């Protein structure tokens, strides 16, 4: 039996940015578990994986997008039991996730449940939001002698301002519905550089200058921001 699974980062949506190592593991896997947040079966991860393997290898698994911890725990525990069964059958199993499997990923919660069942995880890095954001904007995250901070977007303006002031460069992930909080913090801090990127690496990619007049008023999904004080 296999006593481990692979947790594979797929990057942000461009199939050409999946690593060669990730592709080789996908091709050699017996079972690929693909998360979906829509009960209708829609999944960006699925669309990426199908560039490299046939649909017969895929096992779509629904993850609720809410803050109901009891429901989420039940979801991860149920999947962990299924994965263990596949491993007990000797199957090579891979779980795929957008971005990198160690940064704000559902993979982390699944791995914790698998650990309880004595199933180890081998992580395969993916190109993450942080790197994509920096390269897309053509601005270094950090240089010698500096530091930077990476945070999930806070819900509070004062906390956001505090974090911006702590680092020469601050990156906020999962801005989404909290875009107005970020806007207010930027107005208060007056940083020299503040850009918000929506759908980085995906169709519909949009860059907003938060120091200018083109700040979005509606929730901006799949969005991250870079602020330079």
Strand 4-9 to strand 93-97: parallel, antiparallel, or no bridges (unpaired)?
parallel
Here the tokens at position 27 are 């091709």
Here the tokens at position 207 are 């860059």
- Residue 138 CB partners (closer than 8 Å, separation 6+): none
- Residue 204's pLDDT is 85
User: What whole-number distance in Å separates Cα of residue 160 and Cα of residue 147?
Assistant: 17
Where b means 16+ CB within 10 Å and e means fewer, 185-201 reads: bbeebebeebbbbbebb
pLDDT, tens only, 112-163: 999 999 999 999 999 998 999 999 999 999 999 999 999 999 999 999 999 9
Here the tokens at position 221 are 């999904």
Query: Could you tell me which residues are beta bridge partners of residue 35?
Result: 61
Q: Give a three-class secondary structure readout of the chain.
A: CCCEEEEEECECCCHHHCCHHHHHHHHHCCEEEEEECCCCCCCHHHHHHCCCCCHHHEEEEECCCCCCHHHHHHHHHHHHHHHHHHHHCCCCEEEEECECCCCCCHHHHHHHHHHHCCCEEEEECCCCHHHHHHHHHCCCCCCCCCCEEEEECCCCHHHHHHHHHHCCEEEEECCECCHHHHHHHHHHHCCCEEEEEECCCCCCCEEEECCCCCCCCCCECCEEEEEEC
CATH number listed for the domain at residues 4-124: 3.40.1010.10
- Residue 155's pLDDT is 95
Helices 179-189 and 157-166 pack at an angle, to 10 degrees, of 50
- pTM summary value: 0.87
User: What whole-number distance in Å separates Cα of residue 138 and Cα of residue 207?
Assistant: 12
Return the domain boundaries, the chain: 4-124, 129-228
Taking Cα atoms as reference points, which of 65, 5, 12, 56 lies closest to residue 35?
65
Flag residues of the chain having pLDDT under 70.
1-2, 38-41, 66, 213-217, 219
Which CATH architecture describes the domain 129-228?
Answer: 2-Layer Sandwich (3.30)
């Amino acid at each position: 039996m296999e006593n481990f699974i692979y947790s594979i980062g797929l990057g942000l949506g461009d199939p050409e940015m999946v690593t060669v190592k990730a592709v080789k593991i996908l091709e050699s896997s017996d079972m690929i578990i693909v998360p979906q947040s829509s009960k209708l079966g829609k999944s960006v991860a699925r669309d990426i994986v199908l560039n490299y393997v046939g649909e017969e290898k895929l096992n779509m698994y629904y993850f609720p997008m809410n803050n109901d911890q009891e429901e989420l725990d039940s979801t991860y525990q149920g999947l962990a039991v299924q994965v263990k069964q596949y491993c007990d059958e000797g199957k090579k199993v891979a779980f795929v996730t957008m971005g990198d499997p160690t940064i704000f990923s559902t993979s982390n919660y699944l791995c914790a449940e698998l650990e309880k069942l004595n199933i180890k995880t081998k992580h395969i890095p993916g190109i993450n939001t942080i790197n994509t954001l920096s390269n897309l904007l053509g601005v270094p995250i950090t240089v010698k002698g500096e530091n930077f901070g990476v945070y999930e977007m806070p819900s509070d303006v004062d906390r956001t301002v505090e974090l911006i002031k702590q680092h020469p460069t601050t990156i906020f992930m999962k801005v989404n519905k909290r875009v107005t909080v970020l806007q207010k913090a930027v107005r208060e801090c007056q940083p020299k550089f503040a850009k918000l990127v929506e759908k980085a690496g995906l169709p519909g990619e949009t860059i907003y200058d938060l120091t200018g007049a083109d700040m979005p008023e509606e929730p901006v999904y799949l969005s991250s921001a870079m602020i330079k004080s």
